[in-house]
Amino acid sequence: MKFLKIFFVYLYLELKEKIIIFLWPNSQFKRDGIETIENFLTEKECDYFINVAEQFREDKSYMIGENAWFVNRSEKYDNQDSKVSQLMNLQNLDEKAKKLFLSKKIETLFYNRIKEDLFIRSISIQIDKPDTSTKRSWHVDNTAPASYKAFIYLTDVHDNNGAYTVIKGTHKKNIRRWLNTVFNFIKNKPLTDVNYFIKSDELGDEFKAKKGTLIMSNQTLFHRGSPFHSEKTRYMIVIYLRRSTDEITEFVLGKPS
């Protein structure tokens, strides 16, 4: 029964997603599934949020009150992204983050491109230490329906700094994504891995940019953190968004049990 769900229900959701994207107005975001906006934050604001992250940074995961937490991925993710940690639900800890959370600035940027209402589920700060061995390979955050993220680099990201990397346009490769889901289920792998049907010329685009740059991303894109991260710790804000029509569920990603 579960295989039939994967086969038919997931196919239906992917085809529905394809129609939704087809109806978006023409834009760079529709074509590529990703777009950058420079100078969204000032250098001073970037440094401020780095200092906030450092105040809560620890070597292990822990709760911060009832509605925020710090997660060290080395404890949970089967040695994938083992040098990554995150301060989750930042809007519950910091007034400037809460102001951004309530401002509708991020949601408006997406609405202007896709004419869909999104809502922010959570704001986090992600800390990526140099890592050339445990970066997760190509994947999606979820199968259809799509989720979205806005990344804000808090440090300059150049060569060897672990740039966010995507294969542009793959948010529209619905059948390839569905086939990966089916094969992953059969082979007992995470459904969101992209292990199959990557073309030899699809090397991905690394999004290198100055601190303060915002990256809007459809998270059904095939993406990864660059595996060539050999220099400098990367700090960035990660903002999680879903469609307002999606079922509202509690945000618990990485929450310590």
Give me the count of residues in the chain.
257
What pLDDT sits at residue 4? Answer: 87
Kindly state the tokens that stand for 189. 């792998």
What pLDDT sits at residue 161? Answer: 95
* Residue 16 pLDDT greater than 80, yes or no: yes
8 torsion bin: left (phi>0), alpha (psi -120 to 50), beta (else): alpha
Strand partners for 108:
none
* Residue 1 pLDDT greater than 80, yes or no: no
Instruction: Please give the Cα distance from 178 to 141 (Å, whole number).
Output: 13
What pLDDT sits at residue 92? Answer: 98
What pLDDT sits at residue 22? Answer: 97
What pLDDT sits at residue 68? Answer: 98
Burial environment of residue 97 by CB neighbours within 10 A (0 to 12, 13 to 18, 19 or more): buried
* Residue 201 pLDDT greater than 90, yes or no: no
Distance between alpha carbon 47 and the CA centroid of its chain, in Å? 22
Residue 107 in contact with residue 120, Cβ under 8 Å?
yes
Instruction: Please give the Cα distance from 137 to 220 (Å, whole number).
Output: 14
Class of domain 26-170+199-243: mainly beta
What pLDDT sits at residue 126? Answer: 98
Average pLDDT of span 141-155? 97
Instruction: Please give the Cα distance from 72 to 85 (Å, whole number).
Output: 4
Q: Give percent of the chain with pLDDT exceeding 70.
A: 99
What pLDDT sits at residue 159? Answer: 92
Select the more confidently predicted residue: 248 or 67: 67
Average pLDDT of span 139-158? 97
Model pLDDT for residues 88-117, shown as the tens digit of each residue: 999 999 999 999 999 999 999 999 999 999
* Residue 3 pLDDT greater than 90, yes or no: no
Model pLDDT for residues 39-76, shown as the tens digit of each residue: 999 999 999 999 999 999 999 999 999 999 999 999 87
Instruction: Please give the Cα distance from 55 to 202 (Å, whole number).
Output: 40
* Residue 78 pLDDT greater than 80, yes or no: no
Residue 158 has a CB neighbour count (10 Å cut-off) of 13
Instruction: Please give the Cα distance from 218 to 123 (Å, whole number).
Output: 16
**Inter-CA distances, 114 with 33, 58, 101, 117, 167, Å:** 10, 39, 20, 9, 20
The domain spans of the chain are 26-170+199-243
* Residue 77 pLDDT greater than 90, yes or no: no
What pLDDT sits at residue 199? Answer: 83
